[in-house]
């Protein structure tokens, strides 16, 4: 790729241009609408998935083809130009036409068709094939949304195949077009700008996840019963985040290892190292988040167990007290039942009851009731029922 790049006259202009290109402008201007042409009857799907295609010469856009066929034709007519084609969920026919035009390796095309690939960097001759996992934080559901981006980088072309909403490559294209001295460095500069955009997109995600973890810690010690599910869901997102960032560290180091072999511009080398540092920092933060979530889950399980034990102990104590009350009630019921039984027997008013006409019948009945009650009281008292 290096033999087709134009080098700037001095380093300082390139350095400032690179900084301007990689610094998002606030608020961003809406992307300029690409010229549209009515689709041909044989190419309806192409217009739907080609987000934007443009040809550049010396860092300046010279054409904005509406279809892939027009892009191929104009690139052949301008051999010194560079094509930057952006696709979103392209069809198989579109990818096959790109493969035939730019001599893309079948394995890389197959990966771009199937998606759901892990981040990786592969070189097929003069073409680099890069798979990136972009991420964005959704405030409303408080979750992380992941997208997949495939990038083909050749001597005179850059093809991006996007699966998902992230990243916003239109902003990358707009910033690069505003710095033609950087864009004229060729496809390699575009690749590094895309890498930087993907890595910069991780920062809001890290900030959002940090806030979520802080909220989860508060909910754990507050005893929120739904916090376990939230911890589990966020842990799964962190696993996906690790899969997006960890391979990227090795990929960037692989690119840096080929600096001298492929003659990478010195300023691009510096900024790629800066991107690698950001990726390493993000990967370490993600590892820390996952470890923190594991510890929080352990603490939450301990607190839930303690709460359950306390509830079981309270239930046991309540049951014990209830049993003691039942014993007291049963004891007094038995004691009061004895005089009631004697009184009921002698209150039946039968004529043939010898005790009814006995002079000591009443004292005897009273003493009998007192004796029975006293005996029952002593028995229950010894058993600690009273």
Question: How do residues 136-179 score in pLDDT, each as one tens digit?
Answer: 998 888 889 898 899 999 988 999 998 877 677 888 898 889 98
pTM, two decimals, is: 0.68
146 forms beta bridges with: 135
Give phi and psi for 223, each to the nearest 5.
85, 30
- Quick check: 201 and 279 in contact, CB under 8 A? no
The band of 42, judged by pLDDT with boundaries at 50, 70 and 90, is: very low
Residue 321 scores a pLDDT above 90: no
pLDDT for 340 = 84
- Dist CA 119 CA 134 (whole Å): 10
Place of tokens 């004697």: 342
Kindly list the distances between the CA atom of residue 153 and the CA atoms of 1, 53, 68, 156, 253, in Å, as whole numbers in the listed order. 9, 15, 17, 8, 18
Those residues with Cβ within 8 angstroms of residue 161's Cβ, 6 or more apart along the chain or in another chain: 87, 88, 90, 95, 112, 149, 150, 151, 152
> Given a cut of 70, is residue 31 above it in pLDDT?
no
Selection from 12-21, 28-37, 223-232 with the highest mean pLDDT: 223-232
Residue 259: pLDDT band with limits 50, 70, 90: low
pLDDT exceeds cutoff 90 at 341: no
Nearest to 1 by CA among 197, 172, 151: 151
Q: What is the pLDDT of residues 64-102, one digit of tens each?
A: 888 888 888 888 887 788 999 998 888 888 889 899 989
pLDDT > 70 in the chain, percent = 85
In sequence order, which residues have a C-beta less than 8 Å from that of residue 156 and are 6 or more positions away? 4, 75, 79, 81, 82, 83, 187
Number of residues in the chain: 386
């Amino acid at each position: 790729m290096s033999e087709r790049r134009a080098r700037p006259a001095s380093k300082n202009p390139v350095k400032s241009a690179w900084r301007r290109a990689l610094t998002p402008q606030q608020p961003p201007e809406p992307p300029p609408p690409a010229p549209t042409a009515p689709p041909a009857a044989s190419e309806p799907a192409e217009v739907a998935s080609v987000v934007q295609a443009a040809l550049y010469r010396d860092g300046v856009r010279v054409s904005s083809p509406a279809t892939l066929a027009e892009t191929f034709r104009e690139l052949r007519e301008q051999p010194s130009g560079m094509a930057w084609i952006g696709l979103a969920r392209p069809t198989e026919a579109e990818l096959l036409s790109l493969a035939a035009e730019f001599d893309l390796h079948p394995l890389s095309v197959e990966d771009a068709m199937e998606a759901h690939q892990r981040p990786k960097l592969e070189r097929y001759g003069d073409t680099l094939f890069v798979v990136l996992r972009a991420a964005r934080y959704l405030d409303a559901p408080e979750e992380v949304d992941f997208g997949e981006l495939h990038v083909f980088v050749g001597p005179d072309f850059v093809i991006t195949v996007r699966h998902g909403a992230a990243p916003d490559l239109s902003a990358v294209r707009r910033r690069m077009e505003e710095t033609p001295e950087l864009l004229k460095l060729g496809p390699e500069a575009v690749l590094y700008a895309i890498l930087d955009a993907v890595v910069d997109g991780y920062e809001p995600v890290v900030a959002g996840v940090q806030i979520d973890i802080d909220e989860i810690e508060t909910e754990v010690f507050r005893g929120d019963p739904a916090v376990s599910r939230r911890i589990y869901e966020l842990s799964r997102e962190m696993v996906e985040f690790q899969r997006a960032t960890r391979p990227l560290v090795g990929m960037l180091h692989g690119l840096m290892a080929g600096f001298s072999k492929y003659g990478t511009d010195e300023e691009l080398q510096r900024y790629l190292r800066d991107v690698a540092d950001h990726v390493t920092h993000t990967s370490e933060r993600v590892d820390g988040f996952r470890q923190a979530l594991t510890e929080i889950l352990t603490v939450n399980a301990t607190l839930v167990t303690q709460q359950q034990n306390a509830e079981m102990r309270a239930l046991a104590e309540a049951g014990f007290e209830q049993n003691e009350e039942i014993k007291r009630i049963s004891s007094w019921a038995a004691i009061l039942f004895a005089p009631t039984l004697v009184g009921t027997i002698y209150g039946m008013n039968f004529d043939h009851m010898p005790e009814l006409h006995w002079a000591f019948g009443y004292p005897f009945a009273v003493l009998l009731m007192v004796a029975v009650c006293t005996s029952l009281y002593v028995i229950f008292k010894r058993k600690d029922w009273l």
